[in-house]
Chains A and B, each alone.
Chain A
Amino acid sequence: MKLSRRAFMQGGVAAFTYSFAAPSFLCRLAEAQGQTSRSLVVLDLTGGNDSLSMLIPYNDSYYYSRRPTLAVPAGNVLQIGSDASGVQLGLHPRLTGIKDIFNQGRLAFIQRTGYENSSRSHFMGTDIWSTANPANAQGNGWLGRYLDSLGASQDPLVAWNTFQQTPHSLQANTVGVPSISDPARYAFNSPNTGSDAALERTTTQNIASHIPVGQPHVAFVCGVAGDAMATLDRVATVATYSPTVSYPTNGLGSALKAVAGAMNKGIGTKVFWVQLGGFDTHSNQQVVQNNGAYMNLMAALNDGLLAFYNDLSNQGLLSQALILQFSEFGRRVSENGSGGTDHGAASTLFVLGGGVRGGVYGTAANLNMSDSANPTLENNGNDLKFETDFRSVYARVIDNWLGGDSVAALGADYRKSSLTFV
Chain B
Amino acid sequence: MSDHLVQHLLRRAGFGSSPEELAFYSQLSYGSAVDALLNYEQFADDVDSRIGTPGYAGVTSAGEFLPNSNIAHARQRWAFRMVHSKRPLQEKMTLFWHNHFATGYTKVRGVSPDGARLMAAKASEDAGGQQGQIEMLRSRALGNFRDLLTEVSKDPAMTIWLDGYTNTKNKPQENFAREIMELFTMGVGNYTESDVYAGAKVFTGWTFTTSGDRQGGTGTTSFAFNANQHDTSAKTFSFSIYPDGGKTIQPRSAQSGMQDGLDLITALAGNPNTARYLAKKLIRFFVSELSEPDPGLVNTLANTYLASGYSMKLVMRELLMSSQFTDTAAYFSRYAWPVEFVARAIKEVGWAGYSLNDAVTALGNMGQVLYEPPDVAGWDLGPNWFSSGTMLARMNLGSTLAANQKFNLRDAARPYGKTSDALLSWMLDRMPLAPYNSGTYDELRNFLNATKWTGSDSQLLVKASGLAHIILATPQYQFV
Binding site for B on A (CB under 8 A): 1-2, 5-6, 9-10, 13, 46-47, 120-124, 156, 161, 164-166, 176-181, 185-192, 196, 199-200, 203-204, 206-208, 210, 212-213, 215, 217-218, 220-222, 224-225, 227-228, 231-232, 277, 280, 282-284, 336-340, 342-343, 379
Contact = CB atoms under 8 A, between A and B. Distances in A.
Interface of B: 111, 163, 166-168, 170-175, 178, 182, 188, 193, 196, 289-291, 333, 335, 365-367, 374-377, 380-393, 395-396, 399-400, 402-403, 406, 434-437, 439-440, 443-444, 446-447, 450, 462, 465-466, 468-470, 473-476, 478-479
A137 B174 CA distance: 24
A196 B163 contact: no
A212 B435 contact: yes
7 contacts: A2-B381, A165-B390, A208-B475, A218-B476, A221-B479, A336-B173, A340-B163
Contacts of B400: 189, 191
Contacts of B367: 164-165
Contacts of B382: 2, 5-6, 9
A357 B284 CA distance: 48
Contact of B188 (A9, A124, A224, A282): A124
Contact of B447 (A165, A203, A227, A228): A203
Contacts of A178: 387-389
A224 B166 contact: no
A-B residue pairs, 3 tightest by C-beta: A337-B171, A338-B166, A179-B387
A203 B188 contact: no
Given A191-B406, A207-B443, A342-B174, 10 more contacts: A2-B380, A156-B388, A165-B380, A186-B389, A204-B474, A210-B440, A277-B374, A283-B166, A338-B166, A338-B171
A339 B435 CA distance: 54
Given A188-B392, A338-B173, A200 B469 contact: yes
Contact of B171 (A204, A218, A336): A336
A184 B7 CA distance: 37
A191 B354 CA distance: 14
Contacts of A227: 388
Residue among B174, B365, B470, B475 with the highest chain A CB neighbour number at 10 A: B475
B389 A337 contact: no
A397 to B, nearest CB: 23
Nearest to A231: B388
A269 to B, nearest CB: 13
A338 B476 CA distance: 48
Given A165-B384, A192-B466, A225-B391, A204 B402 contact: no
Contact of A189 (B168, B375, B396, B450): B396
Contacts of B476: 212, 218
Nearest to B395: A188
Given A1-B188, A203-B470, A212-B436, A179 B388 contact: yes
Nearest to B368: A164
Contact of A121 (B111, B168, B171, B188): B188
A224 B479 contact: no
B127 to A, nearest CB: 29
A9 B383 contact: yes
B466 A191 contact: yes
Contacts of A336: 166, 171-173
A302 to B, nearest CB: 22
B175 A282 contact: yes
B173 A189 contact: no
A68 to B, nearest CB: 11
A200 B466 contact: yes
A203 B467 CA distance: 10
B389 A218 contact: no
A121 B182 CA distance: 9
Contacts of B443: 203, 206-207, 210
Contact of B375 (A122, A200, A206, A342): A122
A122 B474 CA distance: 34
A84 B385 CA distance: 45
Contacts of A121: 178, 182, 188
A185 B400 CA distance: 14
Contacts of A284: 111
Contacts of A196: 462, 466
Nearest to A162: B389
Contacts of A338: 163, 166-167, 171, 173
